[in-house]
């Protein structure tokens, strides 16, 4: 008879969390681990959350805290209150958090205060820019988590420099790539391209980072650069609710060669990206997805916590002033093949690796420290 293991709770707040969690949830299900999802409602729009549950095959959440948007302080405060109640109610053996959003930070703080063990999937990523709210969330989360799942080799060295016990750290690969690999047979650009009335050659834009949209001057400079790109190639922008009004006020509205639409579901959005000649973004996850799909990506940021997308992939960092020229070059160069092999452990098996470590930890089995080089066991998965 199989041993009954403690409950695992997954705290999910924003659409990238859902993409990262789905392979882990499936892996734990296959191992018979009882689990449940807590949806904080940080992304509250149906197009930003509900459709992702359907596209990724995630089970219905045990609770939806519906915290919505707000300042970092107000949103985090609401999350702390709501998560404390739900964690006490369900009494989990482990809480798993993902990425770097405010829901991640709130969950790790609540669990640290309550003495509930935690695991962080996507640990060790660093932009080294404390001006990014996400960077603060990453550092605090990794300092408090009991299990840390790193997606890339450089994350191991970042955690070591911060004094994290290597026995807690496991290099598992990138679960976001698991979801993309599973979805590949469904990613057909034609239906969504035709529905949006885009020509065969088009670009996709995603813009939402505070540094780009919160300041009116920065938003105006960004919109001017994207508009300039649209004079070279039609651009479709599925616009995140965050910053929508400010970007619209700066001129990001549907025009002759610029199409602004509501957010898309997971499969529709990646289908659109797969058929694009160029992607312009400030998103972390999109940098990874374009690397996997071989689509040229220009990231409107001064830094990235995902440098592997530059060294192994299709990504380049640009300023708004550099964007038009960089776009022209990328379009002239055409389709991109990632340099050499894909990043280590981008093999579609990260979720099962995470699940095996969690199941072993719940059983009390001894776990060996992560190697700081890729060992044969990691390569085999």
Tell me which residues are annotated as active site: 208
Place of tokens 């990238």: 16
Do residues 219 and 247 touch, judged by C-beta distance below 8 A?
Answer: yes
């Amino acid at each position: 008879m199989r041993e009954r293991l403690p409950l695992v709770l997954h705290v999910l707040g924003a659409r990238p969390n859902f993409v990262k969690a789905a392979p882990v949830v499936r892996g734990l299900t296959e191992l018979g681990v009882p689990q449940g999802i807590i949806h904080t409602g940080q992304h509250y729009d149906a197009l930003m959350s509900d459709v992702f549950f359907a596209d990724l095959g995630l089970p219905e959440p045990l609770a939806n805290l519906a915290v919505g948007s707000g300042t970092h302080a107000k949103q985090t405060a609401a999350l702390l209150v709501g998560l404390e109640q739900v964690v006490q109610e369900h009494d989990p053996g482990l809480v798993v958090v993902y990425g770097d959003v405010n829901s991640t930070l709130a969950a790790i703080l609540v669990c640290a205060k309550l003495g509930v063990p935690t695991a962080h999937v996507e640990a060790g990523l660093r932009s080294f820019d404390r001006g990014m709210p996400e960077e603060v969330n990453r550092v605090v989360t990794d300092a408090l988590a009991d299990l840390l799942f790193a997606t890339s080799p450089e994350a191991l060295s970042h955690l070591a420099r911060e004094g994290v016990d290597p026995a807690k750290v496991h290099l598992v690969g990138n679960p976001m790539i698991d979801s993309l690999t599973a979805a590949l047979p469904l990613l057909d650009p034609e239906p969504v391209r035709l529905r949006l009335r885009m020509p065969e050659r088009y670009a996709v834009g995603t813009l939402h980072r505070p540094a780009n949209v919160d300041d009116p001057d920065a938003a105006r400079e960004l919109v001017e650069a994207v508009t300039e790109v649209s004079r070279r190639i039609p651009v479709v922008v599925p616009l995140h609710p965050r910053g929508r009004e400010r970007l619209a006020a700066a001129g990001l509205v549907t025009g002759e060669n610029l199409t602004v639409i509501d957010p898309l579901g997971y499969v529709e959005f990646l289908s659109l990206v797969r058929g694009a000649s160029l992607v312009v973004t400030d998103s972390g996850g999109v940098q990874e997805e374009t690397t996997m799909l071989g689509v040229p990506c220009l990231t409107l940021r001064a830094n990235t916590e995902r440098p592997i997308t530059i060294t192994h992939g299709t990504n380049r960092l640009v300023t708004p002033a550099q964007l038009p020229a960089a776009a022209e070059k990328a379009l002239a160069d055409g389709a991109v093949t990632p340099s050499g092999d894909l990043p280590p452990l981008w093999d579609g098996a990260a979720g099962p690796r995470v699940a095996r470590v969690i199941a072993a930890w719940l059983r009390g089995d001894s776990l060996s420290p992560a190697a700081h080089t890729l060992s044969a066991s990691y390569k085999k998965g």
